[in-house]
Structure 1
Amino acid sequence: MKYVSFDAFRTLHLPDVHYIKPEHMFRQRAEIEAAEWVLFPEYWQVNALVFGLKKRIFPSLSAYLIGHDKVQMTRAFQMVVPGHTPWTLIEPNDPQNAERVWDQMPSPFVAKIPKSSMGQGVFLIENRADWNAYLAKTPVIYAQELLPIDRDLRLVVVGGKLVAGFWRCQGHDGFHNNLSQGGSVDAETPLPQAAIDLVLKVAEELEIDHAGFDVAMVEGYPYLLEFNRLFGNTGLQGLSQQVSAAILEYLEAANDHDDDDDDDPKHPTPPMPIAV
């Protein structure tokens, strides 16, 4: 058995995959231990699989840890590509910090709930009423400058390679670009090379092997907004099949690399443990 999957939908087009319901993880431990890779576990499973069973998971551990919420993600971006990260203030949500962030961040600005997706936790803050309504919803203050854009890029990266990309144009509200929030797809306008280079650099440095990166372009300069470890496949026709093919290529290449290392004298077989 090569692969165990905890997400039947995302591994539908992959061969040699045995699907296990996440809640059956402990019941089917033997099948998991026999697999070369464990695919798409849920977040709550990761520690048990990686540290308990020493299993290789896909997406990578980095993708899970960094992609868990926008706070972790933005701090990682600020460390590796600070010049390509929008100005962001992250603070505990208390009255003192709320007032300080309000005074520092020019209006209008963007506020986000750290653990949210599909644009549901992203708010345009134009006045005090907007700010107070946001503060009542979030455990952590996440305020970010509003970039002068009417669209952004979704770039899909798997195993260090760009699989697909498209522009997401603003919906009727004049703010959200997410397709789930009324945004639309522009697959005809060329993808800027500067955005592609930025995303591939960040994916490599942070060891993110499966993600949909969102990039804003301001006068030809790319700003990295966030990435989604579990991104939607509705933006382009055939995207799901393209992603599956890229996943399979990446996993098989990793397996071949491991086989080469086994035959390499620089990577000798570890000695057998001493019986006591």
Structure 2
Amino acid sequence: MSKLTTVKKRLAIVANTARRFPISKLRKQYRRRDADVVFWLNRRYPDPWWSYLLRGDSLLNDVALLNAVLDAGHTVRIVSGPKIGALTNSTIVYSIDSYNPGRVVNYSAGLLATLRELEAQGNTLCPSVAEAEFWENKVHMHRRFDEAGVNSPPTIAIDAHSDLDEVLAGAPFGFPLLVKEPHSNNSQGVHKLDDRAALDALRSKLAAEGSHDLLLQGLIDMRRDFRVTMIGGKAVHHYWRINQSEEWMPTTTRKGSRVDFVTFPEQWRSTIEDAITSLGLRNGAFDVCWEGDDTDGEPIFLEVSPAYSPNPTPPAAFAERPYSDFKKQLTGPDSFPRAFVDLVFSLHHKTVAAWADSLPGR
């Protein structure tokens, strides 16, 4: 996708977000001191406002969450950026996103440090600190997979002090292997390496940038994976991403994968639902695969995240066309931005419903 097309797509998403903005519901209450919920607009602080408005899905997620909270009958007070630090004994809802006042390399740690302090000050957070800790923190994620008995690829975490000779000698896999940067998303920070020299070079490069933690992972023989969004312990959206190449590569639709929104491996539904529950996540998207793409085998959970960007089901006009064609349709009632925004709003309504036990009574 060209830079111009990317900009046009981003502007179309912003326009469709504005179409759904709950201005009439919000006008009289966004500064109410007696509101039962505080909405934290962290706005990717300390990045500039234009970054918040035009990069990623930050604006969309915040507007969709705010709309869902208001639709649930709550009164809301909005607190922006670092002003959140003064709050005590409140119920705070927020979108998991970059918040890095210290601009540290491990950007997810910046958000978590603030969330832990807010929780220590007697605040109830939705999502909780424990849920947010899964965000772009693959070392923690695999640790929790192991603790909960969630089947995942053989994975070894290494840091600056790890003896790589010793690690590789004891690993249940060899080259080629995957190296994953712990704080990354959307197939970024995933490297398929064929030999030790490539691993040493990558490790040195990342260390020079201040990143010492890495995950080494055995390569799974798979050409497709299953993205399933789980809210309140139930699957609410799903699709297969199918690699068109004979060679291993990430299955993200950005790489041209074909998408199947129909098929669900029903024999594994309860296993997938049990996995999300065992991790303590009320909202999350799993990436699941099977060795050799054989769904008769046990599902392998690649990743889970409480913040994700879902692909909407294409309308009838695009049902038989490549999904990439749909993603390029930026205007009209069958446009990708309209369908994407509507899906995000729908998922946020379901998420707020799943938080009901943590939110004040109405």
Q: What TM-score range do you get, normalising by the shorter chain?
A: 0.7 to 0.9
The corresponding residue for 1:115 is 183
The corresponding residue for 2:79 is 20
Superposed, which structure 2 residues align to 1:118-133 within 5 Å?
A: 118-133=186-201
- Rounded Cα–Cα distance in structure 2 between residues aligned with 1:58 and 1:185: 34
The corresponding residue for 2:108 is none
- Contact 2:193–2:199 (CA<8 Å) still a contact in 1? yes
**Which letter does structure 1 place at the counterpart of 2:148?**
V
TM-score, normalised with respect to structure 2: 0.61
Q: State the shift of 1:158 in Å.
A: 1.9
- Contact 1:157–1:209 (CA<8 Å) still a contact in 2? yes
The corresponding residue for 2:234 is 161
2:114 is the alignment partner of 1:45: yes
Structure 1 window deviating more from structure 2 (59-68 vs 84-93): it is 59-68
> 1:212-260 deviations in whole A, cap 9, x for unaligned?
111112222211111122111345444202212202322346558x68x
**Matching residue within 65, 86, 107 for 2:133:** 65
- Contact 2:155–2:218 (CA<8 Å) still a contact in 1? yes
- Rounded Cα–Cα distance in structure 2 between residues aligned with 1:149 and 1:24: 46
- Rounded Cα–Cα distance in structure 2 between residues aligned with 1:167 and 1:80: 25
Going by fraction, where is strand more abundant, 1 or 2? Answer: 1
The corresponding residue for 1:88 is 155
Q: State the shift of 1:142 in Å.
A: 1.3
- Rounded Cα–Cα distance in structure 2 between residues aligned with 1:122 and 1:39: 28
**Which letter does structure 1 place at the counterpart of 2:228?**
L
Q: State the shift of 1:67 in Å.
A: 3.8
- Contact 1:194–1:222 (CA<8 Å) still a contact in 2? no
> 1:123-151 deviations in whole A, cap 9, x for unaligned?
10112332123212241241111111011
- Contact 2:224–2:289 (CA<8 Å) still a contact in 1? yes
- Rounded Cα–Cα distance in structure 1 between residues aligned with 2:186 and 2:129: 22
TM-score, normalised with respect to structure 1: 0.78
Q: State the shift of 1:194 in Å.
A: 4.7
**Matching residue within 278, 281, 297 for 1:205:** 278
Q: State the shift of 1:195 in Å.
A: 4.5
The corresponding residue for 1:179 is 253
- 1:233/1:23 Cα in 2 relative to 1: closer, same or farther (>3 Å)? farther
- Contact 2:136–2:185 (CA<8 Å) still a contact in 1? no
- Rounded Cα–Cα distance in structure 1 between residues aligned with 2:212 and 2:256: 27
- Structure 1 residue runs of 5 or longer lacking an equivalent are 260-276
Query: Secondary structure of 1:107's partner?
Result: coil
- Contact 1:38–1:58 (CA<8 Å) still a contact in 2? yes
Q: Percent identity?
A: 18
**Matching residue within 55, 61, 65 for 1:10:** 61
- 1:26/1:100 Cα in 2 relative to 1: closer, same or farther (>3 Å)? closer
- Rounded Cα–Cα distance in structure 1 between residues aligned with 2:144 and 2:267: 20
- Contact 2:238–2:261 (CA<8 Å) still a contact in 1? no
Q: State the shift of 1:75 in Å.
A: 1.1
CA RMSD of aligned residues (A): 2.7
Count of paired positions: 250
